Amino acid sequence: MASTKKMTADLIIIGGGVGGVAGALAAAKLGKRVIVTEETEWIGGQLTNQAVPPDEHPWIEQFGATASYREFREGVRQYYRDHYPLTAAARKNRCLNPGNGWVSKLCHEPKVALAVLQQMLAPFVSNGLVTILLRHKIEEAVGEGDRVRSVTVRNLQTDEVVELGGPYFLDATECGDVLPLAGVEYVTGAEARSETGEPNAADEADRRDMQSFTMCFALDYIEGENHTIPRPRDYEFWRNYKPSFWPDKLLSWTHPFPETLEPWTRDLFYQPGRRIIDSLWLFRRIIDKANFEAGAYRSDIVIVNWPQIDYWLGPIIDVSEAERNRHIEAAKQLSLSFLYWMQTEAPRPDGGRGYPGLRLRPDIVGSADGLAQPYIRESRRIKAEFTVLQQHVSPECQPGVKAAHFFDSVGIGSYRIDLHPSTGNRNYIDVSSLPFQIPLGSLIPKRVENLIAAAKNIGVTHITQGCYRLHPVEWNVGEAAGYLAAFCIDNKLKPKEVRNQRADLRRFQDLLVRQGIELDWPDLQAR
């Protein structure tokens, strides 16, 4: 019979992704004891084990991120300067982008992000303020009235059961896994336009209609060598799969242009005379070998997080464990099938077929099969004190160059409303949004008093999750949640009281500003 033990801390954080790490750093900086549980072997979520270089806004080097997120970004650059054979020019580049991928001003390896996050947490782990329980999955939560009393996690390696207790809990899981177990009211899927009034909402609500998830992987390319993988089990299915809303078979170089849905045919490698964005290879490249001394790399290294491997044949939230596993396995088969197609059948500009020199790099993502952990775009979402709607962030609904002002801002972010094809068989929704604030009310459940949303599970809709789900925003959400828990403990307040009592809200916002969190955007019209 598995053993059981009990552990307590000031703050229990379930989920060690981007928001969980930021929340732990924040609470520990204020002297709080924190326990972080993480289901996988790596902390960092999107930045590490999901293998997604950070999606950021165009002003990220100047403003629009918290001080600790900037510390992370600069830590990544310094790690390359300290440990990699950069060229002299790359070493001197203040805005070094190791991969020069055009998706971000900072495209880097997942393992470097992991190393930097571990460095940032190291002093607090060393002094005992932060305890990290890797390979621990939540199984149960116990509530008393409107409070969470404890959560139980299981060690996936030893089968040991651990009961975790404390005055505050953060749900920083990728899918909002604490919410159903703790009885916290939440929403999933797509709301109807009649519910939210959002211009791009669905005609009818569908709680199972969620954005696709993706099994990313890393590749390099060794010309003249053959690194073709074994033919995937489900290759024939994926090779012939033609979505009803897609301009070609899924396994092709053609997919919808997200903003217009017009067919867009791209190349694997850059072709002279075409745009950089027409090359998939340059999209999420994490190592540009030109940044490193001659001979350091045989090839660039890229992350494949491309439209061809988005999986939308079924949701993995609020389904049975068997169904969840079935969809994850199918998504793995899709990713491997796309790789095999590229290696063996993909048309080349020279008229040939296939790129057998494409080499899967399991070492880059830290897995035996070469695939990263599922990249989750959409989570359960709390029924919050305040829910952000498309009307708050849309340029069609707001005057000026910034989104609606929120009196209870705890941070800022900016990204287009970018929804990938969904399990409801709907195509991209990719529309403009304005630089926005993160309202404190979106982190606070309507009823439960001591659980705070700390990731993609905040009070947003299916539509606005499309712009609130990216790396800097999730970091800011988690960081604000960690500071909120510490502030409530120190001042014997509840989160709702902090938000609704203006004097306490001002004191909390002053704390955030002192800790390097920007609460509003500068005058963008002057820039």
The total of other beta-carbon atoms located within 10 Å of residue 230's CB is: 8
What does the alpha-carbon distance between residue 72 and residue 91 come to, in Å, rounded to a whole number? 18
Helix (H, G, I), strand (E, B) or coil at 483: helix
What's the sign of the alpha-carbon dihedral 361, 366, 372, 375?
negative
Map out the domains of the chain with their CATH numbers.
4-191+377-521 (3.50.50.60), 213-365 (no CATH)
Q: Of the candidates 412, 481, 487, which has an alpha carbon nearest to the alpha carbon of residue 172?
A: 481
The per-residue pLDDT for range 58-75, each reduced to its tens digit, is 999 999 999 999 999 999
Would residue 38 be called left, alpha or beta, if left means φ above 0 and alpha means ψ between -120 and 50 degrees? beta
Is the pLDDT reported for residue 526 higher than 60? no
The per-residue pLDDT for range 74-131, each reduced to its tens digit, is 999 999 999 999 999 999 999 999 999 999 999 999 999 999 999 999 999 999 999 9
Range 284-312 average pLDDT: 98
Q: What is the pLDDT of residue 523?
A: 85
The per-residue pLDDT for range 406-418, each reduced to its tens digit, is 999 999 999 999 9
Q: What is the pLDDT of residue 389?
A: 98
The total of other beta-carbon atoms located within 10 Å of residue 88's CB is: 8
Is the pLDDT reported for residue 185 higher than 80? yes
18-29 vs 67-83: helix crossing angle, rounded to 10: 110
| pLDDT grade for 524, boundaries at 50, 70 and 90 | confident
Q: What is the pLDDT of residue 166?
A: 98
The per-residue pLDDT for range 122-162, each reduced to its tens digit, is 999 999 999 999 999 999 999 999 999 999 999 999 999 99
| pLDDT grade for 1, boundaries at 50, 70 and 90 | very low
The total of other beta-carbon atoms located within 10 Å of residue 463's CB is: 27
Is the pLDDT reported for residue 2 higher than 80? no
67-83 vs 471-491: helix crossing angle, rounded to 10: 120
How far CA 19 is from CA of 73, 159, 464, 508, in Å, comes to 15, 26, 18, 19
The per-residue pLDDT for range 211-249, each reduced to its tens digit, is 999 999 999 999 999 999 999 999 999 999 999 999 999
Report the Cα 495 to chain-centroid distance in Å.
25
Average pLDDT over all residues of the chain = 97
Is the pLDDT reported for residue 252 higher than 90? yes
CA angle 229, 295, 230 (to 5 degrees): 0
What does the alpha-carbon distance between residue 346 and residue 384 come to, in Å, rounded to a whole number? 47
SS3 of 5-38: EEEECCEEEECCCHHHHHHHHHHHHCCCCEEEEE
- Whether the predicted model's global pTM rises above the 0.95 cut: yes
Report the Cα 128 to chain-centroid distance in Å.
28
Cβ atoms 243, 420 nearer than 8 A: no
- Give percent of the chain with pLDDT exceeding 70: 99
110-126 vs 18-29: helix crossing angle, rounded to 10: 30
| pLDDT grade for 4, boundaries at 50, 70 and 90 | confident
The per-residue pLDDT for range 353-366, each reduced to its tens digit, is 999 999 999 999 99
* Dihedral (Cα; 172, 173, 179, 182), 10-degree rounding: -80
Q: Of the candidates 310, 328, 313, which has an alpha carbon nearest to the alpha carbon of residue 418?
A: 310
DSSP 133-198: EETEEEEEEEEETTEEEEEEEEETTT--EEEEE-SEEEE--SS-THHHHHT--EE-SBPBHHHH--
Structure tokens given for 523: 């005058």
What does the alpha-carbon distance between residue 506 and residue 504 come to, in Å, rounded to a whole number? 5
Is the pLDDT reported for residue 527 higher than 60? no
What does the alpha-carbon distance between residue 404 and residue 135 come to, in Å, rounded to a whole number? 40
Is the pLDDT reported for residue 429 higher than 80? yes
The per-residue pLDDT for range 192-217, each reduced to its tens digit, is 999 999 999 999 999 999 999 999 99
